[in-house]
Structure 1
Amino acid sequence: MLGSTEIIVLVVVIGVLIFGAKKIPELAKTFGKAKGEFEKGKIEADKELKEFKEEKSKSD
């Protein structure tokens, strides 16, 4: 059975073979930006849900 370290190394090696070493930093940067946008959306959705719940409790 492969451990977590071996799996990470294997994924990195496969990534380099598929995308090339020069493309990996660009992909990581894009992934980081996407993760940031996802987090912003999640925070905004949580805020809107909280406001909706407060509005609903006021009307009841």
Structure 2
Amino acid sequence: LEDKDLLDIFQMLYTKVEVPSARTISRNVIEVFEMLKSNLISKLKVYPGKFHIGLEGWTSP
């Protein structure tokens, strides 16, 4: 967590909080994506109907 003030608030609310680094979160997201990717592909290949995928993208300043 890059925001020291936010981390202080978390620790005030729960002293045992463990906030992972941005690098750890990024690595974990990629690992979960890779684990689920092939499963999703195989399910979509055998799906008999139609489906709609909606995505929303945003950036913060």
TM-score interval, smaller chain: 0.3 to 0.5
When normalised by structure 1's length, the TM-score is: 0.38
Question: Normalising by the residue count of structure 2, what TM-score does the alignment of the two structures yield?
Answer: 0.38
Q: Which has the higher contact order (CA 8 A, sep 6+)?
A: 2
Pick the structure with greater CA Rg.
Answer: 1
The structure richer in helix per residue is 1
